[in-house]
Structure 1
Amino acid sequence: MDRTVSMDDIPLNKFHIKVAIYTTGGKFCDGYILGVIAIALSLLGPQLELSAFWYGLIGSSALIGLFLGSFFFGWLTDKIGRKPIYMATIALFVLISVLQYFVSTQEQLFILRLLLGFTISAEYATGATLLSELIPRKNRGTILACLNAMWTVGFVVSVVAGYTMLHFGGDEIWRWILVSSAVPAFILLILRLGSAESPRWLMSKGKVEKAKKVVDKHFGRHVRVDDLVIEERKKTEIKEIFNKKYRTRTAFAGLFWCLHVLPYFGMMTFLPVVFDSLKIEDEFLSTLISNLFQLAGAVAGVVIMDKISRRNFVIYSFLILAVSLGLLVLIPNPTSAVIIACFSIYVFIASGSGNLQTVYPSEMFPTHVRSTAVGFATMISRIGAALGTFLLPISLDALGIQITMGILTGILLLALFISIKWAPETRNVSLEKAANVNAS
């Protein structure tokens, strides 16, 4: 049978759905692991005699690990393949999560959380890359957007699970709260057994027969493989993403992600503190409303991802985000209703547009450096997340809520300017054409 259909144009099948579920499951674990520490810290702090320094260090340790590992694992995934990293990360999630039960010092917990962040960085670099290389172009944006949406679900579920486990009481319950992340990770590890390698990666390395076997097994013998690489086969070289051809895209991928998460991580981590500074009386209700809008935004982002252009999505999102926080600076003595409305809009749009983080970078680069570039963008984004988490409480204490909101608004306006200047359009085109700078 002649190979007449491109992988980009075949209908979505059971294999696509299965890979999508297994990959979004990894993002669920990421969100769960990063979210569960907040509740555990409130309990383990007195037992491990944590100082303010250690509270901050352990709270941000996974983010530090994410920063340290992202670029390395991006390069390694392009070097040795998607599948080995795809399997190893989940196995490590299980092992390290369980080891948290046995910690007896603040240093031990810091190291384990650092290692978890390091492992999460591998999942960030690999999951979106693998999924983008397997999903047809008309479904690519929607399914990739599910990665970030599922991260949000994992984060919220970790909060619910942590509060539920608190009712079982006991001084050591924080250990079980931390270990609980091993449960979804173990289930996912079993499901991922037998996963396939990316045919695009195999073709980029000249492994044509292996690519054909994967395509024949999961998509059919009528599906082409000769169009999966539009350029001469190249080695994976880190320096390529910084050359004249790709450096603008590399800068945009890292900066739009970094400037998006900088205010978001800080405010979501310390939302009760922010609401207290704004003189909101019912902090629990306000936090609950914000989390509901966070989930709603994540779902909305998935729904609209392939219905509007990527470029317009990122530009108008930053505009609305800047306005929502800017109103808190411009309106003197805003009422509780105004504050909650502004934050709800911010959280809804931030969560929805956050789905671009798992879509956009994966579409901007060719196969042989795709994961390297995604890893670099992830690394830059973790700088923003760590800075937001570390500096927000300091800024609130030293400068006050209004100046802090003004600074965050300025950051979002900078992101808007960068997006207007550099954001490419990658929606509804083949992955090869989307990654072709000369065609954009």
Structure 2
Amino acid sequence: MNTDIHTAERDLTDRMDSMPLTRKHRRILGASGIGWAFDAMDVGLITYVIAVLTDQWGLSGTEKSWIVSAGFIGMAIGAAAGGRLADRFGRRTIFTATLIIYGIATGLSALVSAVIPLVILRVFVGLGLGAELPVASTLVAELSPRKVRGSVVVWLEAFWAIGWMIAAVIGYYVVPASHDGWRWAFAVGALPALYAVYLRSSIPESVRYLLRRGRRLEAEAVVESFEADIRKGQKQTSRVPVAEPDVTSAARSIYSPELRKRTIALWAIWFMVNFAYYGAFIWIPSILVSEGHSLVQSFGFTLIMALAQLPGYATAAILIERWGRRPTLALFLLGSAGSAVAFGLASTHTTIIIAGCLLSFFNLGAWGALYAITPELYPTSLRGRGSGAATGFGRLASIVAPFAVTALLAATSKGILFAVFASAFAIAALALIWIPEFKGASLQR
């Protein structure tokens, strides 16, 4: 009997794996991606708000660092907790709940008039943001066809660029337009709470999660809904034998002997990429202002840099299924390292924009590849907590980065600061030695 159940479950996952990319897959990607874009918009907005509040509230370097780091403290907690909750209560349930949490907290931020209330609300914003990102990537990975799974997750991460560009537009046109411009920016950030209502009804639950919880009838219904979409005008691809990953669901912990080495390597990559990314991009507008550029001019530079993010994601989405996960991530990490050095040395308007665009291109392409790799490293029963734990550990670097930037800039120079970021990218690339390649493999059961 157990053999029959296992065979039936395997048939469902094989049917999901062998599908072509359907309109339903694209709708799920788009719906999830909009939530992802809201995340990026919120993180991006704080870079502009901080620059304005420094003038309006007379913020000290420590106060600025606490406002920024508060969000990342919440993200570290949210990522770790969200992954575990997603393994227990479902990917879709936790995904929509996180949108509500951070949407409400962001909207309330528009009403504050002091540092401490803003710091407290930023922690709650971070709780929602931190939980959502690993849960969303896990859900989309588990619903995607095997042959394009990596590319689909990279395109999900590409919505980050859209959200960041929206933040740049709001930061350029809305934030400096009036004394309360930053409040209006936060008010826009309340929209995810409303969007969550739609999202709940438009995205199915993960088939693999439903099977792990013994809900086979629901899993069958989800698979049949995709196949019905195929019958409307697309052809079913023939099923072919798929490569099986080297770790089975027998692993009980992400720290088990089978998984320990890749977990440590993955955490190192997440930590270094977070440190370099948030250390650089959160502070670029403020760094440019400190170098003598006007507030509007520095916001304009940042807006142009943001435009380079989408080509970075697009290139990573293509290469990740052609070259594989590891070589693609290695290329973008090393490209990020070189671009960071160039930005640290840039002094003219032209060199600042060129180096900044290259840094955006490579860094965000690296993010896309990293999000594609992460959920593939764990079996279904551990996928949420494995992804969440890696993301949460990385957020610790996001907490440290604002304080490190302030200290390094005070003691050294922009050039040395960005050389430190380059070193972080290089260390992340080195850690890929211990990450297995999963190009063409079925997700672990």
Q: TM-score range by the shorter chain?
A: 0.7 to 0.9
CA shift in 2, pair 1:328/1:174, >3 Å: closer
CA drift at 1:397: 1.9
Q: Is the counterpart of residue 217 in structure 1 residue 217 in structure 2?
A: no
CA drift at 1:275: 5.0
Matched residues in 2 for 1:94 and 1:412: separation?
Answer: 31
Tell me what 1:258 maps to.
271
CA drift at 1:342: 3.9
After superposition, the C-alpha distances for 1:282-316 in whole angstroms (9 at most, x for unaligned) are: 75664344222233323332343322211111222
Matched residues in 2 for 1:409 and 1:50: separation?
Answer: 29
Conservation of the 8 A alpha-carbon contact between 1:77 and 1:85: yes
Aligned to 1:22, what secondary structure does the other structure show?
helix
Q: Is the counterpart of residue 82 in structure 1 residue 91 in structure 2?
A: yes
Matched residues in 1 for 2:65 and 2:211: separation?
Answer: 45
CA shift in 2, pair 1:409/1:175, >3 Å: closer
Matched residues in 1 for 2:288 and 2:176: separation?
Answer: 26
CA shift in 2, pair 1:354/1:232, >3 Å: closer
The letter for the 2-side match of 1:431 is: L
Conservation of the 8 A alpha-carbon contact between 1:25 and 1:188: no
2:188 to 165, 180, 193: 180
Tell me what 2:439 maps to.
427
CA drift at 1:326: 4.5
Tell me what 2:397 maps to.
384
CA drift at 1:172: 2.9
Tell me what 2:61 maps to.
52
CA shift in 2, pair 1:322/1:162, >3 Å: closer
Conservation of the 8 A alpha-carbon contact between 2:37 and 2:159: yes
Matched residues in 1 for 2:343 and 2:113: separation?
Answer: 44
CA drift at 1:206: 2.4
1:193 to 189, 201, 209: 201
Tell me what 1:312 maps to.
327
Conservation of the 8 A alpha-carbon contact between 1:270 and 1:393: no
Q: Is the counterpart of residue 324 in structure 1 residue 339 in structure 2?
A: yes
Matches within 5 A, 1:3-402: 6-45=15-54, 50-166=59-175, 169=178, 171-193=179-201, 195-220=203-228, 240-274=253-287, 283=298, 286-326=301-341, 340-402=353-415
Aligned to 2:124, what secondary structure does the other structure show?
helix
Aligned to 1:193, what secondary structure does the other structure show?
helix
RMSD value, Cα: 3.2
Matched residues in 2 for 1:340 and 1:38: separation?
Answer: 18
Tell me what 2:5 maps to.
none
Conservation of the 8 A alpha-carbon contact between 1:101 and 1:179: yes
Matched residues in 2 for 1:18 and 1:290: separation?
Answer: 29
Structure 1 window deviating more from structure 2 (74-83 vs 282-291): it is 282-291
CA drift at 1:178: 0.6
CA drift at 1:213: 2.5
In structure 1, list runs of 5 or more residues that go unmatched: 436-440
CA drift at 1:112: 1.2
Aligned to 2:157, what secondary structure does the other structure show?
helix
CA shift in 2, pair 1:194/1:390, >3 Å: same
The letter for the 2-side match of 1:28 is: A
Matched residues in 2 for 1:42 and 1:412: separation?
Answer: 26
CA drift at 1:324: 3.5
Matched residues in 1 for 2:323 and 2:118: separation?
Answer: 44
Aligned to 2:17, what secondary structure does the other structure show?
coil
Q: TM-score, normalised by structure 2?
A: 0.84
CA drift at 1:380: 1.6
CA shift in 2, pair 1:399/1:65, >3 Å: same
CA drift at 1:75: 0.9
CA drift at 1:168: 5.1
CA shift in 2, pair 1:404/1:168, >3 Å: closer
CA shift in 2, pair 1:427/1:93, >3 Å: same
Matched residues in 1 for 2:184 and 2:27: separation?
Answer: 30
Q: TM-score, normalised by structure 1?
A: 0.85
